Structure 1
Amino acid sequence: MTSRSLAPALVGLLSLTLTACADDSAPPTPATTEQTVTATGSAAESAAADSQEYPDILEAKVTPAGEKFRVVVTVSSPYDTPERYADGWRVLTPDGDVLAEHTLHHDHQNEQPFTRSHGPFAIPDDVTEVVIEGRDQVNGYGGGTVTVLVPRHG
């Protein structure tokens, strides 16, 4: 088979792959105010470490979605295989209360790091920042987190 005859098959495979992740990767709701934070230092560096025990959150963006919020999260998981992968993340208050959880149903081995969104979900008015934390299907929650200021309509 020549590379020309493989092209339609590869396009079809890519389309199928993107469709399979479609419910995980909906674009964020447009908003006039948003807050993005990118991890630096140990969280970003540990993403490449072979001995990484948990997925790391590399970046997160919170945007208003009407009276609620959406979050877009970038996760790094170098051990992503069907046998072990980052299977989710959650949004927490600084006090540790869970505001939202997102479940990932398959590995993202060929898409590292990867970005997914979640929402809308409520954030109480007195909460000014949220913490995003990843989950590994073997070890649970842990790894590098990102703290994001909650954008409020002024």
Structure 2
Amino acid sequence: MTLPPVLCAAGEADVMSVTVGRSGNQQYDFSVTLKHDDTGWEHYADRWEVVDTEGHILATRTLLHPHVNEQPFTRSLRSVAIPAGIVRVNLRAHDRVHHYGGTEISVDLPD
């Protein structure tokens, strides 16, 4: 599939930073900063995900609109239940054109 140049120019969505804190028994609060050159409704970062080390999605923070004039931007997701035994997770971003492929960050869950 060939993409129009204006859609390709935005590139993939990158996770720039992550803050994670424990909010309860096996529950965590995540604050994630993304960078993506959103161009509008056709090409924008539309979600970020908490994923275990085997690639299973544990939680998703959906982004409902483009952030053309707000880059980078930070959004949070609270009280994410993480199964017992998982001590490290990956954070990855998704955009409407490239899907995955940008910078991911791995974090250890606090005790």
In the comparison of the two structures, how many residue pairs are matched?
103
1:129 CA displacement: 0.8
> Which consecutive residues of structure 2, in runs of 5 or more, have no partner in the other structure?
1-7
The 8 Å contact of residues 88 and 106 in structure 2, kept in 1 or not, is answered as yes
Give the structure 1 partner of residue 102 of structure 2: 143
1:97 equivalent among 48, 56, 70: 56
Give the structure 2 partner of residue 132 of structure 1: 91
Instruction: Tell me which stretches of 4 or more aligned residues in structure 1 moved more than 6 Å.
Output: none
Superposed CA RMSD: 1.5
Give a deviation string over 1:41-80, Cα, whole Å, max 9, x none: xxxxxxxxx8553100000111111221111000000134
Map 1:54-69; keep pairs closer than 5 Å.
54-67=12-25, 68-69=27-28
Per residue, is there more helix in 1 or in 2? 1
The 8 Å contact of residues 80 and 86 in structure 1, kept in 2 or not, is answered as no
Identity of aligned residues (%): 36
The 8 Å contact of residues 57 and 146 in structure 1, kept in 2 or not, is answered as yes
Bigger radius of gyration? 1
TM-score (norm 2): 0.85
Which structure's relative contact order is higher, taking Cα pairs within 8 Å and 6+ residues apart?
Answer: 2
TM-score (norm 1): 0.62
> Which consecutive residues of structure 1, in runs of 5 or more, have no partner in the other structure?
1-49
